[in-house]
């Protein structure tokens, strides 16, 4: 049995029936990390010995008759912008290289309580700024499907880790597509729930009105079980939703027989990869063959979404990142600083990478007096128009289907020197964050040997419905059963 490719249910079954021990399951992950990570750079910090200790404890309980629950004993990777008490947390940045948090993010705490076992902190673009993994201040992560290509970003390491079998699932964060786009590039499921569904407490903030924790897994079924564990109100995050959390795992198969699915025409653009377009057409055909009503709709402000996103994101990021001053967290550079400002300047010059500096400058500019009205305020107004588009669309249809990204994984270095082209890879994912909607990327086949994802966007709080539709598709198509050769 290939222990590194199990679904959560298979892992649970195997542990419960003592087909393998938790130590064997965790050791298989560690072995996989040891044999692949020098090629893909998915992990920043390994937590092997802790993981094995936890495994042994669970094995002892199982020997005494304990039946493990859904996530118990399962190896998980955590994006390195989720704070973990006692474990170094860098957010992919040199400025946090020495940072060992005194507390744990709520989503991680919930996984810990459920018995999932952390095998490492995963690499990512610095502070989540990027779409390729190349903006990590550590090594760039490579795509297990083709080592010359990027795994997507910014949850680059989480995607590469799950895809290569280093862990059975991972957490990421999605501010503009950072869970869905890497899922699409690595043949995984990537779920970004409704804004506020999962607590942001302990998530190193990028853009607070857009950030949301997300799940990277191989199957939709797994994503539902993980969401079940980490969703829900948290009094430590006042923006977390007070709504009841449905029973995703139980109801995942109860898909309504005839839903109205909208296909927004603005999501089929010039310059899009032909293979992606063909595969998404197949997806649309699949749903209409399954009895759902598919109609073309329009979201007229889609063309403005990327500009709105990059204005709001940079403005919020410039404010969030002001806390890294060398005094409170991580790196501190005061070599002969002449003044306090000089001390800040030295720390930031040494600690932040080029993309972070670029975005702080853009955001500070957009917020500065005299420009605020022209940029930030205007972006907020257009944000309202985009939200309006979605509200109108959801009066006509239940959910939307689009490609997740315009192309499959691109080559390392291909877009690195040209930030604007890099930003274009987020074109189909940012709207869900702007409007706070739940969205999922699901493997939809291969284009020239590379994975392609389709995206389902739902109405606020309707994670269950998009999970149901995605699950239906995955049961019939089985694209998730294709693995990289690595
Ligand atoms: N690629 C997007 C960006 O660079 C998305 C980032 C994210 O979701 N964290 O901003």
pLDDT, tens digit (0-9, with 9 covering 90-100), for 64-88: 999 999 999 999 999 999 999 999 9
- Which atom from ligand 1 is nearest to the alpha carbon of 181? 1
Task: Kindly give the distance from the C-alpha atom of residue 337 to the centroid of ligand 1, in angstroms, as a whole number.
Answer: 34
Q: Number of structural domains, the chain?
A: 1
Phi, psi values for residue 146, rounded to 5°: -165, 110
- Which atom from ligand 1 is nearest to the alpha carbon of 128? 9
> What is the rounded (10 degree) CA torsion for 367, 372, 374, 379?
60
Task: Kindly give the distance from the C-alpha atom of residue 64 to the centroid of ligand 1, in angstroms, as a whole number.
Answer: 46
Local confidence pLDDT in tens for the 486 residues of the chain: 899 999 999 999 999 999 999 999 999 999 999 999 999 999 999 999 999 999 999 999 999 999 999 999 999 999 999 999 999 999 999 999 999 999 999 999 999 999 999 999 999 999 999 999 999 999 999 999 999 999 999 999 999 999 999 999 999 999 999 999 999 999 999 999 999 999 999 999 999 999 999 999 999 999 999 999 999 999 999 999 999 999 999 999 999 999 999 999 999 988 889 999 999 999 999 999 999 999 999 999 999 999 999 999 999 999 999 999 999 889 998 888 999 999 999 999 999 999 999 999 999 999 999 999 999 999 999 999 999 999 999 999 999 999 999 999 999 999 999 988 899 899 999 999 999 999 999 999 999 999 999 999 999 999 999 999 999 999 999 899 999 998
Task: Kindly give the distance from the C-alpha atom of residue 309 to the centroid of ligand 1, in angstroms, as a whole number.
Answer: 9
158 lines ligand 1 (CB under 6 A): no
Residues contacting residue 197 through CB under 8 Å, at least 6 positions apart: 212, 227, 231, 232, 240, 241, 245, 438, 461, 463
For ligand 1, atom 10: residue with the closest CA = 129
Query: Looking at residue 420, what is its pLDDT?
Result: 86
Phi, psi values for residue 160, rounded to 5°: -65, -35
Can 178 be counted among the known catalytic residues?
yes
- Total residue count of the chain as it appears in this document: 486
Return the H-helix or E-strand segment holding 366. helix 354-367
Phi, psi values for residue 358, rounded to 5°: -60, -45
Residues contacting residue 71 through CB under 8 Å, at least 6 positions apart: 8, 111, 114, 115, 116, 225, 226, 229
Q: 164-195 burial string, b = 16+ CB within 10 Å, else e? A: bbbbbbbbbbbbbbbbbbbbbbbbbbbbbbbb
Can 79 be counted among the known catalytic residues?
yes
Asked if residue 295 belongs to a domain, the reply is no
Task: Kindly give the distance from the C-alpha atom of residue 383 to the centroid of ligand 1, in angstroms, as a whole number.
Answer: 17
Task: Kindly give the distance from the C-alpha atom of residue 53 to the centroid of ligand 1, in angstroms, as a whole number.
Answer: 35
Q: Check: CB of residue 134 under 8 Å from CB of residue 364.
A: no
Closest CA to 82 of 209, 156, 211, 171: 171
Query: Residue 446 corresponds to which tokens in the numbers above?
Result: 């291969």
Asked if residue 14 belongs to a domain, the reply is yes
Asked if residue 317 belongs to a domain, the reply is no
Asked if residue 160 belongs to a domain, the reply is yes
Among residues 137, 178, 240, 441, the one annotated as catalytic is 178
Query: Looking at residue 224, what is its pLDDT?
Result: 98
- Which atom from ligand 1 is nearest to the alpha carbon of 174? 8
- Strand-pair partners of 79: 122
Among residues 21, 79, 142, 192, the one annotated as catalytic is 79
Q: Check: CB of residue 103 under 8 Å from CB of residue 86.
A: no
Asked if residue 208 belongs to a domain, the reply is yes
Residue whose pair of structure tokens reads 């095998």 in the numeric block: 119
151 lines ligand 1 (CB under 6 A): no
Q: Check: CB of residue 247 under 8 Å from CB of residue 228.
A: yes
- Which atom from ligand 1 is nearest to the alpha carbon of 425? 1
Asked if residue 476 belongs to a domain, the reply is yes
CATH of the domain at 23: 3.90.1300.10
Indicate the top mutation candidate among 154, 155, 315 to test ligand 1's pocket, ranked by most ligand atoms within 8 A of CB. 154
- Strand-pair partners of 411: 149
What pTM was estimated for this model as a whole? Answer: 0.98
Indicate the top mutation candidate among 80, 122, 172, 176 to test ligand 1's pocket, ranked by most ligand atoms within 8 A of CB. 176
419 lines ligand 1 (CB under 6 A): no
Give the three-class secondary structure for 453: strand
130 lines ligand 1 (CB under 6 A): yes
Query: Looking at residue 269, what is its pLDDT?
Result: 85
Beta strands in 183-264 (DSSP E): 189-192, 213-217, 260-264
Closest CA to 212 of 185, 236, 239: 239
Give the three-class secondary structure for 122: strand
Closest CA to 154 of 165, 167, 171: 171
Asked if residue 109 belongs to a domain, the reply is yes
176 lines ligand 1 (CB under 6 A): yes
- Which atom from ligand 1 is nearest to the alpha carbon of 207? 9
Residues contacting residue 249 through CB under 8 Å, at least 6 positions apart: 70, 221, 224, 225, 228
Indicate the top mutation candidate among 125, 158, 212 to test ligand 1's pocket, ranked by most ligand atoms within 8 A of CB. 125
Asked if residue 165 belongs to a domain, the reply is yes
Q: Check: CB of residue 189 under 8 Å from CB of residue 301.
A: no
| Domain range enclosing 229 | 3-261+397-481
For ligand 1, atom 4: residue with the closest CA = 130
Query: Looking at residue 335, what is its pLDDT?
Result: 80
Under DSSP, the state recorded for 483 is -
- Which atom from ligand 1 is nearest to the alpha carbon of 313? 10
CB-based burial label for 7 (10 Å; 0-12, 13-18, 19+): middle
135 lines ligand 1 (CB under 6 A): no
**Could you tell me the strand order of the sheet in which 439-447 lies?**
43-46, 117-122, 75-79, 169-173, 213-217, 189-192, 439-447, 450-458, 399-403, 260-264, 293-297
178 lines ligand 1 (CB under 6 A): yes
Residue whose pair of structure tokens reads 């869970």 in the numeric block: 179
């Amino acid at each position: 049995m290939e222990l590194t490719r199990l679904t959560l249910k298979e892992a649970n079954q195997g542990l419960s029936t003592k087909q393998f021990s938790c130590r064997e399951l965790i050791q298989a992950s560690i072995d996989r990390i040891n044999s692949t990570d020098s090629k893909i750079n998915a992990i920043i910090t390994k937590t092997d010995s802790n993981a094995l200790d936890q495994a042994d404890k669970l094995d002892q309980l199982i020997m005494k008759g304990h039946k493990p629950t859904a996530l118990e004993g399962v190896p998980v990777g955590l994006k390195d912008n989720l704070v973990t008490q006692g474990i170094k947390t860098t957010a992919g940045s040199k400025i946090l290289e020495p940072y060992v948090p005194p507390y744990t993010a709520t989503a991680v705490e919930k996984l810990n309580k459920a018995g999932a076992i952390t095998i490492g902190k995963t690499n990512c673009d610095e502070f989540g700024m990027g779409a390729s993994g190349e903006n990590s201040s550590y090594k760039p992560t490579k795509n297990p499907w083709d080592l010359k290509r990027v795994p997507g970003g910014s949850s680059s390491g989480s995607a590469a880790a799950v895809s290569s079998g280093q862990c059975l699932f991972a957490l990421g964060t999605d501010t503009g597509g950072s869970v869905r786009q890497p899922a699409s590039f690595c043949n995984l499921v990537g779920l970004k729930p409704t804004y506020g569904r999962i607590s942001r407490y302990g998530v190193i903030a990028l853009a607070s009105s857009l950030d949301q924790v997300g799940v990277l897994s191989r199957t939709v079924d797994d994503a539902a079980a993980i969401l079940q564990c980490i969703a829900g109100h948290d009094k430590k995050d006042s923006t977390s939703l007070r709504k009841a959390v449905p029973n995703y795992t139980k109801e995942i198969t109860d898909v309504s027989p005839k839903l109205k699915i909208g296909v927004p025409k603005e999501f089929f653009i010039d310059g899009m990869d032909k293979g992606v377009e063909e595969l998404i057409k197949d997806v649309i055909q699949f749903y209409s063959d399954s009895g759902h009503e598919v109609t073309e709709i329009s979201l007229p402000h889609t063309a403005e979404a990327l500009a709105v996103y990059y204005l709001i994101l940079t403005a919020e990021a410039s404010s969030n990142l002001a806390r890294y001053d060398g005094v409170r967290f991580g790196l501190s550079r005061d070599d002969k600083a002449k003044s306090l400002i000089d001390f800040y300047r030295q720390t930031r010059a040494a600690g932040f990478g080029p993309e972070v500096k670029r975005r702080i400058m853009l955001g500070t500019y957009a917020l500065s007096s005299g420009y605020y009205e022209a940029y930030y305020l205007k972006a907020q107004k257009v944000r309202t128009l985009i939200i309006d588009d979605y509200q109108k669309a959801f009066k006509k249809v239940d959910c939307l289907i689009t490609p997740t990204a315009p192309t499959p994984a691109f080559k390392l270095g291909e877009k690195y020197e040209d930030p604007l082209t890099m930003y274009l890879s987020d074109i189909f994912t940012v709207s869900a964050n702007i409007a706070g909607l739940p969205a999922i990327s699901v493997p939809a086949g291969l284009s020239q040997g590379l994975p392609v994802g389709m995206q389902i966007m739902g109405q606020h709080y309707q994670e269950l419905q998009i999970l149901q539709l995605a699950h239906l598709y995955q049961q019939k198509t089985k694209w998730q059963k294709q693995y990289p050769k690595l």
